[in-house]
A = this chain, B = another copy of it.
Amino acid sequence: MKLSKQARQHELKNTIEDTPFIRDEELARRFGVSIQTIRLDRMELSIPELRERIKSVATQEWNETVKALPIEEVIGEVVDLELDVRAISILDIKPEHVFSRNNIARGHHLFAQANSLAVAVINEDLALTAGSTIRFTRPVKLGERVIAKARVKGDDSKGRTIVDVHSYVDNDEVFAGSFEMFRENEPKEVGEK
C-alpha cells in the first residue's frame, strides 16, 4: 500500500526540510503520486513553493543563530540549523576537494564538513571536538553534492555532548560519524580561558 495521506504529508515535510531545493515534480515521483497531490499537500502544510524556499535559505533565517562558529567558518553551506538539536549543510565536491588521480574526494573534506557542522550545532560560545569515530561508507566523486545531517544525541557521563553526523549523496550514505563535543560551559566551573 502506498503511504496514507498523513504519513505522506509527514514524510513530505521531512523531505523538504532536508532538501529544500527539491521540485514538486521530483517529490511526486518519489512518493508515487501526482504533482497536484503534492501541491495540495504543500498547501495543507503551508509549505511554500521552491523559489520561496530557496529565497528563505538565501535570506539567512538561520545564520544569526550560530553561536559557536561564525557562519563563514563552517565548511559547506548551512541550510538548516536548530541549535542543540540538528543542522544540515551542503558541500559540493569541487576539483580542489579531490585526489587528482581518481577524482575521489579526500576524506578530510568530508570530515571537515561533518566536524564543523558538529561544532556549529552546539549552543555554546566555545565547543571543541574531543574525539570521534567515523566511517567513510562509499567514495564521493567530483561534482557530487554531499548533504551532512547532524543530530545532537545528548550528553555522556563526562558531560560531553554526542553529535551524530550522517552525510549523503543522493540519499546514499557516504559518511557517518559520532562526535564527542566538549563544551566550555558545562559544569559550574568557569575554567581558564
**A residues neighboring B (CB under 8 Å):** 21, 51, 54-55, 57-60, 63-64, 66-75, 77, 79, 90, 92, 96, 99-102, 104, 106-109, 111-112, 115-116, 119, 125-126, 128-136, 138-139, 191, 193
Contact = CB atoms under 8 A, between A and B. Distances in A.
A186 B138 CA distance: 16
A74 B99 CA distance: 10
| Number of this chain's copies in the complex | 2
Contacts of A73: 67, 99-100, 106
A54 to B, nearest CB: 5
Contact of A139 (B90, B100, B128): B128
6 contacts: A69-B75, A102-B193, A107-B128, A108-B112, A129-B136, A134-B134
A63 B69 CA distance: 15
Contacts of A191: 138-139
Contacts of A59: 77, 90, 92
A192 B81 CA distance: 33
B115 A102 contact: no
Given A99-B126, A138-B191, 20 more contacts: A21-B55, A51-B54, A58-B77, A58-B79, A60-B77, A60-B90, A63-B72, A67-B72, A67-B73, A70-B100, A71-B108, A71-B112, A73-B106, A106-B119, A107-B129, A108-B116, A112-B112, A129-B136, A133-B134, A139-B191
